[in-house]
Amino acid sequence: MEIHQKPIVKPPRLAPGDTIGIVAPASPFSQERFNKGVAVLQSMGFRVFFDDDLFIKQGYLAGTDAQRADFINRLFADQEIKAIVCARGGFGAMRILSLLDYEAIKKHPKIFVGYSDISALLSVLDTRCGLVAFHGPMVTTLADAGQETKEAMLAALTSDVKLELAPANGRVIEPGRASGPIAGGNLTTLCHLVGTPYAPSYRGKIVFFEDKGEAAYRIDRMLSQMKLAGCFEGLVGLVLGSFEDCGEFDKICRITSEMFKDAGIPVLAGFDIGHGRTNITIPLGIKATLDADRQRLIYHEPATV
């Protein structure tokens, strides 16, 4: 069932001097890397706000579920906060999906950035709130991010330009051209949403996947599960980001080709999106055209207003 809210809500774009709030929806993190990442955001011209409770550790989680959800709810409601960037992924985001105040988030749309396990949050902000969210670097990954990653993040969050992306090491798995809203993120995380009330519909959409540390047979297993569950029915295009520490990229491409060879959709691999050293920020929820033959992903409109 399609549960996407219309119309799409674009968050206000960032301006110099705006305040970015930091949340930790998943795992705890290194304070040293956190401090370095905060310095990067400040060097971009932004103020940074975070609560001292951000550093709470409860086993493999950054505080209780209630605490982690409350941070997000409070920062969305705070009019001084113009954007929210996650500290780290890891695991834990899907545990708080039922605790988010989606009505309040709809009333206070703002930029929200993260990737990996945070894909669960990016997905529900799209499906439950119609909010354009951003798959991009987190505070701890900004600590050692390259210039291309930082420039792409800044451009996506502050510019009124329509983004056009080309894969660094493009590989056409299936040729063709298609248009639709962009959805997706971390394959493992999104696979684990299947069968829950928070599973998105990919009908009519261009989906991208990325992952880290998953053997080829596990990539196969997750794609097979999603296919058997009907997740890919009506899909119009597929983009592959980085698959760090997942074995030979050729094998990932072969698995994808076998899975989608009869789907009649364009499939393009090789984008620097995900867990690689370069992690290009991309908006989710707005329309783009995937032109596999020209190896381009071309957005139809800016992601912010």
**Which one is catalytic: 4, 135, 174, 210?**
210
Instruction: Let me know if 248 is a catalytic residue.
Output: no
Instruction: Let me know if 4 is a catalytic residue.
Output: no
**Which one is catalytic: 4, 135, 192, 275?**
275
Residue 90 φ/ψ region, left for φ over 0, alpha for ψ in the -120 to 50 degree band, beta for the rest: left
The CA R_g of the chain, rounded to the nearest whole Å, is 18
Instruction: Let me know if 116 is a catalytic residue.
Output: yes
Residue 170 CA to residue 233 CA, distance in Å, equals 25
Non-local (6+) Cβ contacts of 81 within 8 A are 19, 20, 21, 49, 75, 110
- Cα diameter, the chain: 52
Residue 173 amino acid letter: I
The H-assigned helical ranges of 54-137 are: 65-77, 102-107, 119-129
Residue 265 CA to residue 180 CA, distance in Å, equals 12
**Which one is catalytic: 116, 119, 123, 242?**
116
Residues serving a catalytic function are 116, 210, 275
